[in-house]
Every structure is written in C-alpha cells, then in structure tokens.
Chains A and B, each alone.
Chain A
C-alpha cells in the first residue's frame, strides 16, 4: 500500500497520468446493472429490457388436432379430415376464414409404439377484442372450446396484444 502511494505520488509529481490513455480500468466502481466493459476488447456491452403494459386487444386460440393410426399415411389422412371439418365448423361461430391458420405439425410414435401420431395446430386470431363486449368474447371462447372437444382437440387460449 505504501509502495503504491509512493508510486502515485511520484507519477503525480512527474505530471504523468498514472495510466496510459488507451488502457481502461474496471476498478473505478461498479458498472450499471446489465453493463460490462471489456479491457481486452475495448468494448462496452449493455443488456437492457424494455417493457410497457398495454390493454389486451387480441384473442388467440390454439387448437391441437392429433390423430393416431397404425401408419403415417393413415394418420395424415385422418388429421386432414379432422382439421378440415373443424375449420368448416368454425364458420358456424361466425369466425372469419382469414382469422384461421394451420401451423406446424408434429409426428411422433404412439405411447405403446404400435403406431404413429400426427398433430397440427389450428390457430384462431380474433383482433380488436377491446372493442367488443366481454360477454361476446366469453361466448366465442366457449364455442371454440366446445367445438374443439368434439374434434378431439385441446385448446390453449391466450389474451394478448397484436
């Protein structure tokens, strides 16, 4: 410690900066949260979250339609019929066809490995729910869930912001 003080004093008296200009020190205090400074790379890295709370305006319903069969082509065929039937039935709930899309698929062996399972997700997006009565949204959700159950589908309902 004494040696360090003597060094600093001598540097001060000599009118020279104690550290070369191109070298940073990390000992000058803590960095702000999420920030780091690298001496070696001469870089500053900052990670920062930003968030806002908003009123939800979009309803998403994700329906997984899954079919099992001895062979993949059979499972595919059954799944096509089920998804097509489900989408056709959604029209009865006055859901616009453009609000429906079929996304992703999963192929997997059945539990007992005696066949194959094929599943697709039907996603229903209902915009502007903040401009509709809550009872109308509740009715729609219940209608889709009931319909999904008839087609052996599990529903995941999400409320969010588009």
Chain B
C-alpha cells in the first residue's frame, strides 16, 4: 500500500518530465519500452551506530522507490 503510493508519486513526476521533454523537442508520441523498479526497505535501524543512538519510536520511516523508464520516440511516417 505504502509502496504503491511512493510508486505513484514517482510515476507522476515521470509523466511531468516526459511531457516537458516532448514539448521542448517536439516529440509527438513515445512508446514505453522498459521499466526498472527498485525499492529500499523502509526501516530505521536503531542500534546500527552506537555513537548516534536513534529513537526506538521514530515518528516516521521513509518508503522509497526508484523507477527508471525508457521510452522509444515514435515518429510518424
């Protein structure tokens, strides 16, 4: 559920960036050819660094995903 929200946030930013690029370079359409997905485990390690103790009750943890997408530029004949 949380990962879905993080993924949706990434997709939204990708769509915006793609739209910017399309407008700037006059690309009519693109075809999605590949997606790479990575995610971090959403944990706060409490006792990893004894010199920097962390709260055993953190307010939040960060769910993070990374998407790398490739589009092929489609040119009309």
Contact = CB atoms under 8 A, between A and B. Distances in A.
Contacts of B13: 48, 50
Interface string B48-69: 1000000011111111111111
* Prevailing SS type, chain B contact patch: mixed
B61 A160 contact: yes
Contact of B68 (A31, A47, A51): A47
Contacts of A99: none
B10 A48 contact: yes
Contacts of B47: 155-157
B56 A157 contact: yes
Contacts of B17: 32, 34-35, 46, 48
Contacts of A35: 17-18, 21
Contacts of A46: 14, 17-18, 67-69, 71
Interface in B13-58: 13-14, 16-18, 20-21, 24-25, 27, 30, 33, 41-48, 56-58
Interface residues of A, number: 38
Interface in A33-79: 34-35, 37, 42-56, 60
Contact of A49 (B46, B66, B70): B66
Given A25-B25, A161-B2, A48 B14 contact: yes
B21 A56 contact: no
Q: Which 8 A-B pairs have the closest CB atoms?
A: A50-B10, A160-B43, A50-B9, A158-B43, A32-B17, A53-B60, A51-B64, A50-B6
7 contacts: A35-B17, A45-B69, A47-B66, A48-B17, A49-B65, A158-B45, A160-B44
Interface of A: 21-22, 24-25, 28-29, 31-32, 34-35, 37, 42-56, 60, 134, 137-138, 141, 155-161
